Chains A and B, each alone.
Chain A
Amino acid sequence: MPDPRHSIACIVPPDLLRDIIRNGSEEERGTAADTMAVDQTFRTLRSAFAATVAANQVAMRPMGGMGGSPQRTIYDQKNSNAIALGTVARTEGQKKVKDPAVNEAYDHFGSTYRFFWEVFGRNSIDSAGMPLLGLVHYSTNYANAFWDGQGHMFFGDGDGQLFTRLTASLDVIGHELTHGVTQFEANLVYQGQSGALNESMSDVFGSLTKQYAGKQTAEEADWLIGNDIVGPTLQPALRSMKAPGTANQYDKQPASMDDFVNTAADNGGVHINSGIPNHAFYTTATTLGGKAWEAAGRIWYDSLRDEKMKPTSGFKAFARATVRQAENRFGAGSAEVDAVQAGWDEVKVKV
């Protein structure tokens, strides 16, 4: 009899094959478990697809909104390690529930949706009204949040050491949703320099989501990531775009190409070298002053969608895209082009 794991691996991307049975006996973890895992995976995919189709039908109704309203569903994973959708805890338009994690995810999804819609006219992650699905209370004391590339954002409750409840941070939720936006645009490979650029996009638009919601100027913004959800180990913040490498006692982010870190860990240092383009954005935004999403954010967004950007593009290709897009929108020789150039000069990326 063929091993089901092998036959399945041929048709389903291997990273979709996630385990369901964790707590069963040895016998329970046999072929039955594998089959069940695959069933669950298909169920997840089917339901996500159905939801997408439903949302698109809504968007196509003449009076039914051509975008502008998010389609949110928050699921309670009840501390399970399963990746299949848990119990529906709150859907679009429903009132607040008792669970703060559910309400935070719902509200911060809304703020992130509003940011991309009102500032860039983008209707959700795929620019076509994609539903926003949040899975809260994932696993037990899980100190992380991630985007699964299939429309789901997973949030742990935190371990109390590195992280407290991960849904509490608007910039972190903006960060996760932006991974989805990047996937639908330049689709930057999550490895090495393109991966660090992918990470930086999430920090840039995550921070801008927070600044937009708080109506902050570049001067007023804290330029910190995750400062509201770090536990004692990572106090006072995860990352600083203003001063990479200073956010906490373990922060190893470089602020320029002189200190680029080569490592096999962290998919080639994607959360480390992201400090370089992060600081370029900070420099551009503060050189221009005022609301960072208006010019600097717009240029970065246009550049993420630049036709010359490829999945393997690194810092230099992106820097060139930002200069090109700044010239397109604001004109050659404009203050915006100069500020973009100053940003990349500061971090020693040659354009």
Chain B
Amino acid sequence: MGTRVRLTRSGGLAGLSMVVSVDLDDLPAAKARKVRAALAEMDLEPAPAPARRKAGRRRAPAPFPDAYQYDLEINDGKKRSITVHDPVSSPEMQTLLDVLLPLAEPE
């Protein structure tokens, strides 16, 4: 199967959620290559089962007030995810944001 990537940017001063969900095979080849290369370098965690993903649960350090929250979910047969906040420190995550955010739409 292909690789499905879903990115949600939430929070920020506006509190507006922007979502993009794409199959990498549907992206232009150069962009898909960039995304695959970035994903290969990233430290992703197995996605929590829905029942365990409680609202309000947090593992990461305290986010800055009004900083954007990014939730990335990958499904290529195996589900993995990661949540980060601005300012983004990983160049790989920044690459994903640069490619995917322009495709995101308000939820």
Residues of chain A having any CB pair with chain B under 8 Å: 13-15, 17-19, 21-22, 29, 37, 81, 83, 143-149, 162-163, 166, 172, 175-176, 179, 189-193, 198-199, 202, 226, 233-234, 238-239, 250, 262-272
Contacts and interface: CB of A to CB of B under 8 A. Distances in A.
Chain B binding surface SS class? loop
Interface of B: 8, 10-17, 53-58, 61-69, 71, 85-91, 94, 106-107
Contact of A191 (B12, B58, B68, B106): B58
Given A263-B55, A264-B56, A264-B57, A198 B14 contact: no
A146 B86 contact: yes
A147 B16 contact: no
A83 B25 CA distance: 35
User: Among the interface residues A15, A199, A233, A267, which one has the most CB atoms of the partner chain B within 10 A?
Assistant: A267
B63 A15 contact: yes
Given A192-B56, A226-B13, A270-B11, A147 B64 contact: yes
Contacts of B91: 19, 21-22, 29
B13 A144 contact: yes
Given A19-B90, A144-B13, A146-B86, A265 B106 contact: no
Contacts of A149: 62, 64-65
B106 A15 contact: no
Nearest to A239: B15
Contacts of B54: 264
A311 to B, nearest CB: 10
